[in-house]
Each structure stands twice: as C-alpha cells, then as structure tokens.
Structure 1
Amino acid sequence: MEIRLPQSDGSLKRYAVQASPVRPQQPLPAFNRTVYAAAHVVIDPFATVDPWDASPIVDWDTTLAFREHLYKLGFKVAEAMDTAQRGMGVDWPVARELIQRSLRHARSVGGDLACGAGTDQLIAGPEVTLADVEAAYREQLGVVEAEGGRVILMASRALARCARGADDYLSLYGRLLRDVSRPVILHWLGEMFDPALQGYWGSNDLATALDTVAHLIGDNASKVEGIKVSLLDAKWELALRRRLPAGVKMYTGDDFNYAELIAGDDSGHSHGLLGIFDPIAPVAAAALAELAAGNAQRFRSLLDPTVALSREIFRAPTRHYKAGVVFIAWLNGQQDHFSMAAGLQSARGAAHFAKVFELADQCGVLCDPELAVLRMKRYLSISCGID
C-alpha cells in the first residue's frame, strides 16, 4: 500500500506503508511494573452540537469499551486526567460522571483504575482563596471515594494562582493527605502540558520545587502510593526517584523518555502513568511482557521505536497532544469519527497527522493497516484536498 502524505514544507511525500502491526501474545503475563494508561474520552459528534461553547456529550459505550480494551492488555486506567481533556474541553460535571461510570464499569469487568481529583470546578481567578481550593479538592475527593475509588491528586490551576509559596502547598496538601481514606498518587504536571501550572510547588526553579515535593512525601509517606512526574526531562524524575521513601513509587509521566525510565538502571526504575500508553497500548503491552520475562533488550527493541511517535504527538505546544491520541484511536477503528471535546481535533494540522500516521505505522501501532490507510485518505481529502 502507498499513500501520499503532506509535509510541513508544502510538498507531498509518497509513503509505502509497512503494515507490520505488533500484537502481544496471549495470555499476557503479570507485568513487573505498575502501569496506568491515561485514557481519552470519546464524544458523541451528533449530540455535541456546539463543541466550542458547551460541554461535550460523551459516547459512554465507546468510551468504556476503550477502557476495557486497555484492561485486557494488562493496563490499569488513569481516569479523568488531562488525556481525557480534563479542564480542556471536559468540565467537572462531565468528569464527575466519567469517574462514576468508569468505577462502576471497572468493577463489572475486573478492571483496575485510579481517578483524578482536582479543582477544575473553580475558575482560577484573583478572587480564589486557599480555602476555596481546599473545598474544591475535598468535593472531588469525596466523589471518587464515595465510589470506592483510588485517587490521583491532580495539580490545581487555582492553587498555582493563589498560593504564595511552598508553605501553602505543604500545608494544604498535608491536610488533604491526612484525611484521605487510601494512599493517593500525587501529580506533578509541568507547564508545557498546562501553562497555568507555571511555578507549581511554589517556585519556578525546578530544584527548589523538587525539594518541596520530597519534603511533602517524606512527611506523608504512608498516605502516598506514588507520584507521577511529567516534566519531559528525565533528570528531574531521576533526582526525585532517588529521594522517595521505601514503598513510594515513581510513576513516569515523561512521554519523551519513558522507555529508559521504565527499563531502569542500577539505582532503580520507574513505573508508568502515561498518556502515550493510550495510543500505543498493544505495543507497550508486548514490550512490558518481555520485560516481565526478563528480556530487557527485547523490551527496548519494541518500545524504543514508539518514542519517536510520542515525541511527535507531544511536541510543543504539548497541551495539544490529545489530538494525536484520538487520531490514532480513529485510525485503529476504536471509534467511528475524529471529533473531540471543544473541537480540539483542529489543534494540529494535516502535516502533523501525516507524521503521526507514518510513525505509528513504523512502530507497529496501526493494528489494522488497511483501515488506517482508508481513514487517512479520507481525512486528507477533507482537510487539505488530497485525493
């Protein structure tokens, strides 16, 4: 199969499709890393009439079916996170229903998940106080815990806006951790994912911010299962990983360097809580099975080629990475359309999606190459007139 793909310089490239999908062997062994796939949401494009101006209407059957697909591949699900367009098209009322439905669905199919609790019911304006932020966190914690769920304590735009320094973070997080019923996963999302989170933990200096996080975890280790770090620079994750108390897990959220961080070294390894696990799930599952069997070289040979795809999907402006995630789900037949909450399928251009297609093919992510080619041609015909 051959397809013409647009390039960023305005030219067209003839690309011969490799059509070599990677499929994990069944049954899959238990992984020796704890791995969460942050999953996207599928909207109903018929019912979502004005995507820029109203909350999306979710296609619940397809959304939950995709989570079941992840469970069958051995992943846990990180629910209602930024990959689900949390606060970027999906508001708190929709996220609340997503959490409730997903927890009930997981119990019915034997899945395992943790859910994001944040403060996105607040507008991060100058009038917001620390008390408002704490109340918002507690409302969302209550929703997750009422359903028997585990919590990922998400970074807060409102807290970043109103906190005066590290002490405000330490005191507020300390009170929340004191009262949770089960240990939580903390969430450190860098400003490249969300510019409103600049200066999180009370400092623009990452070394200083890291000291604050290490202090928080050290003082509350019994209430912290782990921490997800998404800074797209492995040195900060490694520095914090070395300082974690025994029993507290490092969950890499580094969509640029996850292969080496999960593989680990003599000083230890990271687990995974990643948006890229959503589109590359079958390949990642095959790789993780090899790692569990002690075949580290085979793990890297399967997973390393996906890094180029991830770096394209998560390239700056990184916050638009969800478009590439949903595009691959559509190419792979996991949903019938390429429409997103808030119309964010338009956040990237045709040359980007062409590159995503090419790199997904090269690392074995396109599970049905003929369908992917058909849909890619349809997209290119509509978006830029390539017939």
Structure 2
Amino acid sequence: MATTLKDVALKAGVSVKTVSNVVNNYPYVTDAIRLRVKAAINELQYQPNLSARYLRKGRSGILAFANPDLSNAYFSEIGQVVIEAAKARSYTVLLDHTGGERSNEQDVVRGLSPHLIDGVILSPFALEPEDLQPRQESIPIVLLGDRIYDVPYDHVTYDNVATARLATQHLLSLGRRRIAALGVQEAEARETETSRLRLRGYLEALEEAGVPLDPHLIIRGLPSFSRFYGARAMRQLLSLDTPPDAIFCFNDLLALGAMRAIFEADYRVPEDIAVVGFDDIEEGRYAVPSLTTIAPDKQKIGDLAVAFLLGRIDGTRTGPPERIEVSCQLIVRESSTLRG
C-alpha cells in the first residue's frame, strides 16, 4: 500500500497540512519541523501524487515540445534540455513530431485534445499568422525558431542573418573566394524563413568583401536539411567547371552529407574545399574531419522556453510577451582549418 500524507504526518508528529506545506516547499514551516518531516518522508519513501495535485489545480502536469523533425539532432538536443528543465519543476514533456505539416501544427496549438497538455513549446514551420491568433480556449505557447509572427506569445530565437554572415566571413578570412551556399529550402514555391535569413547573411558577407556572386554556387530547392540532400547538392557543385573552394551549409546534417560526397570525389577537406555547418550537433564534433559550425546556445534556448512557458501557466509571468535572441558562436574545427 502506498504511503500517504497522513502516514508521514503520524511519523513526524505533525499535521497533514504541515506535511503538505513541506512537500510543496511553502515557507510556513520552521526549519526544525521541515527537517523532521523530510526525514519521515525519506524513511517512509513517500512519493507525492502529482496527478492528484495537478487535477486539483485543473492541470495535466504535461507540456508539449513540438518540432518539425525529431530525426534532426538539433531538435533532439533542444528537446533534452526542455525535458530536464521541465522535470526539475515536476512536469512531464510530450514530444510531438509535426513533420512541418500545417494541420499537425494547428493541432498542437489547439492543445492536441481537451485538457491533455498545459502548454506547448513550438518550433513552427508551416503555420500562418491566423493560426496563432489567441482564442478563448487557447493554451500558453512559447515559440522557437526563425519565423516571426505578430502574436502575443513569448519567442526564443537567435540572429540568423548575423550568424550566417559570421560563418561566411570565416571562410573569406581563409582566402576562399568561390564559396557555395547549400540549404535554400523551399515550401509551397517560396523560401523557408531559415533559408531566407541564412542566405541573406551569406550574401551580405560576400558583398562586404567585394566578392562577386556566382549564382551557380547557390543550391536551391532542397526538400529537407538532411545528409542525403547535402551529398546530392555537393555532387552538383563538384560537377561545375570550376567547383567551389568552400561551402557554407545551412545546417550540420547538410554539411556531413557534403563532406561524404567530397571524400567520394577524391577531394580533400579542408585543403581543397573548406566546410562550415550550423547547429553544432554532437555528430559534427566527432566527424573526420571534425566540423566547423555555428553553435547556438541550446541550453539557454531550452531553459528560457520552459521558464517562460511555466511562468505563463503559473501566472507568475504577467508582462507583455518578449522576443529573446540567445547568443551563437563560431566554433572552428578541422573542416575549415588545417591542424597545426
């Protein structure tokens, strides 16, 4: 039989209300009594009934983390941070793979089903502004990623233009001049927001350096940011009369696929073609050669998203919605710079 609050109260010689105050970390208990109650909890191995607690508050104790591609390690690594941050606040996280489909993202925004989740951290790919307009039954939402909506929700992101410019400037500083851009992804005949912003940063860096643009070095129309399409696009670049001497890939998976195609064509990285990715996923750190990349602060992204969401759920975050940009840094590894 499970240990109850009453059992702990009898063991500690206090009231059930006092035990509840200790369990919920309320300040209305003296240090001596708090220690006595905690000793009784440990001895009896009492586990709070979180389901009952959330039921009393009209909540489920469940958050959703919804993203377009769980197979992408970037989203998996963000998800791990979200899970740990939520767990520290006694919340469970439901992972939802939307596939970048508008209908799936709409389901998440509506709460998946009545009373299933208390709030959602969403990285939208296909939603339109009207999908995110608050309704009477709306649940708290925190947005991640590049798409900017004029809606009253907190948003955690980073400066894609500045970071893409930084990646391209790094390659330019190495004396590379035929720098390709790999990752212009299109949906419904238009560039996705991530592609548009990172392409803009790439073009700005070339213009600032006075390097003329060769349109053949921009690979467009990628169905997804995957190793497969990275390798296929790289083979297209290698078939040019004058192949690139460097490539900026809009994520690390594309870069890993591109490096495989470079190896298969008997070119060398970085001697013949330098490569820079984006995301700093773990796989890139252990690739051969290791991958130079742009590293967003994924720990801070996940921590802020959970803190913002729970603040809205608990009612402790009452100010206007904020759009927060976290820092990113260029991490230089072997794929762009020869080992000394």
Higher share of residues assigned helix? 1
Which structure exhibits the higher relative contact order, with contacts defined as CA atoms closer than 8 Å and separated by 6 or more residues? 1
Higher share of residues assigned strand? 2
